[in-house]
Each structure stands twice: as structure tokens, then as C-alpha cells.
Structure 1
Amino acid sequence: MDELAITVIGPDRTGIVADVAEALAGVGANLTDSTMTRLRGHFTMTLICTGPSLSSAEAALGSLRGVVTSVSSVAPEPDKSDGGEPYVVSVHGADRLGIVAAVTRVVAAAGGNITDLSTRLSGTLYVLIAEVDVPAGASDELAEQLAVAAAELGVEVTLRRAESEIL
């Protein structure tokens, strides 16, 4: 069975999610993973689905007006033996260049894997929330390195263990 990665972006409007979901359901696509959000007046989705061929998914989405789509075949996710321990990194502070780069570099250097990341700018306040898998025993060192990065950036950074029910 084909597994597809699909992206859709366009001006936000009522019904965009329903239109995309109906178009894909019409060609037998089962949406397995997705993330959808509004970004400064634009709506964007990233979906993983199984079922349809690449060409039938492209044709179904091609009938939608006012959106840009991309469809690619992807390999199924390999079984992972140890994904690490789930943590949440949150950053709050004045907007400035390089916050995402600095924080994600610290996480990567500690061997952490970012599984979800969102940012939002509200006036001059910048907020970053990331779900990360941290190697067992690496959280204390990661917290220390995040504190160093926070001081250099002039922002507040917290690292807390995530409750699996929340994720």
C-alpha cells in the first residue's frame, strides 16, 4: 500500500480542511498523521496518508482552487527501539533573530529529537513550544545548555518532562 506525504497551503477560509479531507477520502486516502495550522492568514497542512496512488491523490487535490499542494511517496516509518524520554521545551521572550536556530541546535547537540515544534509571534512576544525526545539521562545536561542559550538570547526557556497522556 502506498504511503504519501502531502502538503497544502493557501489563504485561510472556512471549509478548507473539509475540502481537502473530502478530496482525499474520495480516492480512498486514510489520513494517518496530520498537522494543520493557521499562519499569518494562511492555512497549512501536512498529512501522511495511505491508500491512494500518488497520481490519484495529485488529481484529487488538483481540483481544489486557491491552494498549492505537493504529494510525495514516502517510506513507512521504521520501528524504533528507543525514542528517548518525552520532554517539552518552551521559550518566551522578545522576538529576535536566531531563537529557533539556537534552541534547536542545543537540543540536537544533546542527542534530542524534535517531534513537534510551533512558534507564534504576538506583538513583540515570541513563543516557541517543542516536543522533544531526549536520550535517557541527558535531561539535566540539556536543561543546563538551554539555560546558557536562554541567557545569551535574553529569553526564558523551560524544559519539563511531558506526560504521555498529554502528547
Structure 2
Amino acid sequence: MNHLVLTVIAEDQPGLVEKIASCISTHGGNWLESRMSRMAGQFAGILKVSVPADAHAELVASLQALNEQGIRVLLAESGSEPERSFKPILLDLVGNDRPGIVRDITRVLSELSVNVESLDTDVAPAPMSNEPLFHAEAKLAVPLSLSLDVLQARLETLADDLMVELVLRGDE
């Protein structure tokens, strides 16, 4: 079996996921995992599928043909997963919204060789003041060689500058 990672984006509409799933199934493929969401009238997702080697080229052509129906698909061959040389950590962040929060947090993470495996963000009105409140949840892959105390200290210094609350916890 070959594995593909697909990125899909299209104007949101009923039946969109079914069209993609049917295309995969028609070619003997198997839908393994996905993350999909609707945002600002668009539907986007990333998914991993397996397909028999002899149907690989036909599936790729069929997925690319979905563009004619307004469904853009970007394909990549699945890479190998690295050996587990990291510890999973969850990050929660809340603060008044302002430009640059994601840039500043991810800069520190990158400097410490921390990988962002997933990131969910939104901006919503604060309960009492109705001011825009930025919230982020991230799953991080922290190198085993990096002390959580060092990571916490670096992020807390930044959190003070950004005026955000930041919590790290183990993902066990």
C-alpha cells in the first residue's frame, strides 16, 4: 500500500466530503485520518489515505480532476514518522488580541527546536468587557533534551511581554 497526504480546500457545500471519500473508495483507497474544518465560507482539510500501489496513479489523477468541481487537492507522498525523541506537551494561551502573538510564540518555540504538531486559534469577545480575546491551543513536540523548566521560563517571559496567560501541561 502507498500512503498519500492530501490537502483539500473548496467553497463549503453539502456533499463535499462525500465526493472526496467516494473518489478515494472508488480506487480501493482507505481514509486513515483527517483534520477538517469550515472557516469563512471555505472548507479545508488535511487527510492521510492508503491506496494499493497499482491504483496509485489512477487515484492521483481522479483527485486532481476534482478541481473541475471546484475542489482543489494538493498531494504529497507520506513521509516516515521520526523516532520518538520528543515529549508531547499541550499549550493553552489566552490574552487580549493583537497582531503578532502567533509569530512571537512560534519564534521562541522554533529557537528551542520545539515542533508545533497542531494549532487551533480563535478570537472571541471577552465575557465581561466584550474586547477581542485571542485563544490558542497547541500540541507541541518538545525535544527530550529540553527541560520543561527552560521552556516554561522562556515562554513566561514572552507571555509577560505579550500580556497573555500561558499554560503548559503534559499530554499523557
Provide TM-score, normalisation by structure 2.
Answer: 0.82
Q: Deviations over 1:5-35 (max 9, x none)?
A: 2111112223322221122111122222321
Q: Within the alignment, does 1:134 sit opposite 2:142 as a pair? A: yes
Is the Cα contact below 8 Å between 1:118 and 1:130 reproduced in 2? yes
Report what 1:15 is aligned to. Answer: 15
SS of equivalent residue, structure 1 residue 28? coil
1:77 and 2:85 are equivalent in the alignment: no
The alpha-carbon distance between structure 1 residues 40 and 125, as it changes in their structure 2 partners (threshold 3 A), is farther
Separation in structure 1 between the aligned mates of residue 96 and residue 9 of structure 2, nearest angstrom: 28
Q: 1:148 is matched with which residue?
A: 157
Cross-structure match for 2:49: 49
Residues of 2 paired with 1:75 and 1:96: CA distance? 36
Shift of 1:39: 1.9
Amino acid at match of 2:72: V
Which 5+ residue runs of structure 2 have no aligned equivalent?
126-131
**Which of 105, 108, 111 lines up with 1:106 in the alignment?**
108
Judge conservation of contact 1:37–1:44 (CA < 8 Å) in 2.
yes
The letter of the residue matching 1:91 is: L
Q: Hey, what does 2:129 align to over in structure 1?
A: none
1:46 Cα deviation (Å)? 0.8
Return the index of the structure with the highest Cα Rg.
2
1:71 aligned partner, one-letter code: L
**CA RMSD, aligned part only?**
2.1
Spell out structure 1 runs of 4+ moving beyond 3 A: none
Partner of 1:115: 117
Encode CA deviations 1:27-67: one digit per residue, 9 max, x unaligned.
Answer: 12222232111222211011122214245233245246232
Gaps of 5+ in 1: none
Change (3 A) 1:95 1:58: farther
Preserved CA contact (<8 Å) 1:27 1:57? no
Cα distance in 2 for residues equivalent to 1:45 and 1:79: 23
Name the CA distance, whole Å, in 1 between partners of 2:105 and 2:166: 9
Query: Aligned partners of 1:89, 1:58: CA distance in 2, in Å?
Result: 39
CA contact (8 A) 1:86 1:161 kept: yes
Q: Report the AA paired with residue 139 of structure 2.
A: E
Please give the alpha-carbon distance, in whole angstroms, between the structure 2 residues aligned to 1:110 and 1:152: 18
Identity %: 28
TM-score normalized by structure 1?
Answer: 0.84
Find the aligned partners of 2:171 and 2:81 in 1 and give their Cα distance: 23
Matching residue's letter, 1:62: A
